[in-house]
Structure 1
Amino acid sequence: MSNDPRHPELHVYEEQRNDLIDVGLGFGVFFGVLFVIAIVATVISLLVK
C-alpha cells in the first residue's frame, strides 16, 4: 500500500473516530463556554446597576 494522496481510501487511520461523539462534545463544550460568558455578563450587568 502506498501513501499516494490521490487515493485517500488507501490511507490507514491512526485511530478510529466516532464522529457523532466528536460533534456532540463540540456542541457541549461550545454551549458550556457560551453559558459561562452569559453568566459573567449577567453578573457584571447586575453589579453595574
Structure 2
Amino acid sequence: MSNDPKHPELHVYEEERNDLIDVALGFGVFFGVLFLIAIVATVITLVAK
C-alpha cells in the first residue's frame, strides 16, 4: 500500500454517517427556511397594501 494521502482506502470514516437522516434533515431545514421566507414575504405584502 502506498503512502499517497489521496489514496481512498487509507481514509476510514471517523464517525458513522446515516445518509438517510442527513438528507432528510437537510430537506427539512431547507423547507423550513423557504417556508419562513414565504411567511415573511406574505406579511410584507399584506402590510404594504
Q: Normalising by structure 1, what TM-score?
A: 0.83
Matches within 5 A, 1:7-46: 8-46=8-46
Identical aligned pairs, as a percentage? 77
- For 2:41, the aligned partner's letter is A
RMSD: 1.7
- For 2:34, the aligned partner's letter is L
Shift of 1:11: 1.8
Runs of 4+ aligned structure 1 residues displaced above 6 Å come to none
Relative to 1, partners in 2 of residues 1:19 and 1:3: Cα closer, same or farther, differing over 3 Å?
farther
Partner of 1:5: 6
Q: Normalising by structure 2, what TM-score?
A: 0.83
Gaps of 5+ in 2: none
